Structures are given as structure tokens and as C-alpha cells.
Amino acid sequence: MKNTFLYKVWKNDKLLFGLFSLFIFFQVYFTYKGVESFPFVHWGMYSKVFTANENYTVYTLKIDTETVCFEKFLDPQKGMILGTISKYDALKKAQFYDSLNVVIDSRFKGKVSEEKLVKLRNTLTNDSAKASRYPAWLLGYVADMRLINNSSISVLKHQVSYDKNARLTTQSTDTLFNLNEN
């Protein structure tokens, strides 16, 4: 025990030992609570078993009648487009109730004033009014990247799966939204 790092620090510098101890305590507490803090990551982030889904959601983006090929975009652009489309889809499924409201309530309700809580919600969460502006934003974002001035956009949502021979089959196709700016 006398050869351990913490013991040697305790013998030589009590303040530094206290700082190390606080750091270790809070890191263990954060890990217990499931809060990620750099440089420590949770086992489940990279080592958890990945289970295959029965169905997958795939989005198709059309500008006018042309289907947009996502492979032509850089990864950050592709991530921005597909990430925001899936967030919009999740909001639409939840009738435009943002799941971030639950997190805000659990962390801040009763700890800050109601006025600050409302301001926090208005700043961080989406609702139907904010989401209604999304199709026009997406059209502008994609049009700027592709240097085009088209006036209509549609997003199709496909539920797909693989059969036992690993062939892709489409289960259903729905229109997520259409926007015509003529």
C-alpha cells in the first residue's frame, strides 16, 4: 500500500491528494449517474453488443423530381441533412413534443424559477411552429450546397428490412413532407 501513487501523494502534498480524491469521487459519481465526462467513456459506448433491427428507416430526398444522391456530399453535410430529417421525423411522430423537455424537467424543474424554465425550453426545444419552418430551411441548405435554385423539395421515408437471403425489401414508403415554393 505504501508504494501506491495516491499514498505517496498523500505523504508529500495533502492539497494535491485532496484534489485527486475529489476528482476520483466525482468521476465515480458521474459514471454511476451515467454522465459522460472526458477522458472517461462508458463501456456501453464502444463495447456494448450491437443488436440488428428488424426494420431500418431510410430517407429519400427529392428536389423537384431529381433524387438527391447523398454519396456526393461530404460526411458533415450528409450528417446534417440526415440528422435533421430524422429529428424532424421523431418530432412528427411525437406530435411535435420535443423529448428534451423531459431532460429539462428532470434537471431543472424546482431548481430554477418558472420564468427561466420557460426561457430554457423556448431556447432549446422544438415545437410545431419551429418545425414548420424546417422544410424551407432544408430546401435552402441543400440548394446552397448544390448551387441550384429549385423550388420544391420532398422527403420520403422508407421502412426497409432484409430477408433471410440478405436481400433488401421495402416494407412501406411514406411522404414525410412536401414543400413547393412557386
Q: Within this chain, do residues 65 and 153 fall inside the same structural domain, yes or no?
A: yes
Using the CB atoms, write b or e for 9-42: b if 16+ within 10 Å.
beeeeeeebeeeeeeeeeeeeeeeeeeeeeeeee
The answer on 21 and 109 residing in a single domain is no
pLDDT digits 0-9 by tens, 141-177:
887 766 566 578 899 999 999 888 888 888 889 999 9
Alpha-carbon gap, residue 117 to 108, rounded angstroms: 7
Closest by CA to 24, choosing from 13, 8, 40, is 40
Q: Is the dihedral of CA 137, 142, 148, 153 positive or negative?
A: negative
**Does the pLDDT value for residue 17 go beyond 90?**
yes
Q: Does 79 lie in the same domain as 135? A: yes
110 lies in some domain = yes
pLDDT (0 to 100) of residue 46? 67
112 falls within a domain: yes
Give how far the C-alpha of residue 173 lies from the chain's centroid of Cα atoms, to the nearest Å.
23
Residues 74 and 159 in one domain: yes
Same domain, 93 and 162: yes
> Is residue 39 scored above 80 in pLDDT?
no
* Confidence at residue 83, expressed as pLDDT on a 0 to 100 scale: 95
pLDDT, tens digit, 9 for 90 and up, residues 42-65:
666 666 677 778 889 999 998 877
pLDDT in tens, 74-114: 899 999 999 999 999 999 999 999 999 999 988 898 899 99
Q: Report the chain's terminal Cα–Cα distance, integer Å.
A: 77
Give the per-residue pLDDT at 34: 72
Q: In sequence order, what are the residues at sequence separation of 6 or more whose Cβ sits closer than 8 angstroms to the Cβ of residue 160?
A: 55, 56, 57, 58, 168, 169, 170, 171
Higher pLDDT, 35 or 162: 162
Q: Is residue 36 domain-shared with residue 120, that is, in the same domain?
A: no
Per-residue pLDDT averaged across 107-136, rounded?
A: 91
Distance CA 137, CA 161 (A): 30
In a shared domain, residues 36 and 65 = no
Query: What's the structural domain count of the chain?
Result: 2
Domain presence at residue 96: yes
Number of residues that make up the chain: 182
Give a yes or no: residue 51 inside a domain: no
Q: Is residue 154 part of a domain?
A: yes
pTM of the predicted protein model? 0.69
Say yes or no: 110 and 20 in one domain.
no
Domain that holds residue 146: 56-180
In this prediction, residue 148 carries a pLDDT of 63
Is 164 a domain residue?
yes
In a shared domain, residues 123 and 173: yes
Residue 108 domain-assigned? yes
Region 119-139 average pLDDT: 91
What are the helix (H) ranges across 34-158? 43-46, 75-93, 100-108, 114-124, 128-132, 134-146
- Whether residues 142 and 98 fall in one domain: yes
How far, in Å, CA of 160 to CA of 57, rounded? 6
100 plus 168 within the same structural domain: yes
Instruction: Return the pLDDT at 54.
Output: 83
Q: How many CB atoms lie within 10 A of CB 60?
A: 16
Is there a single domain that holds both residue 60 and residue 148? yes
- Does residue 41 sit within a domain? yes
Task: Tally Cβ neighbours within 10 Å of residue 126.
Answer: 19
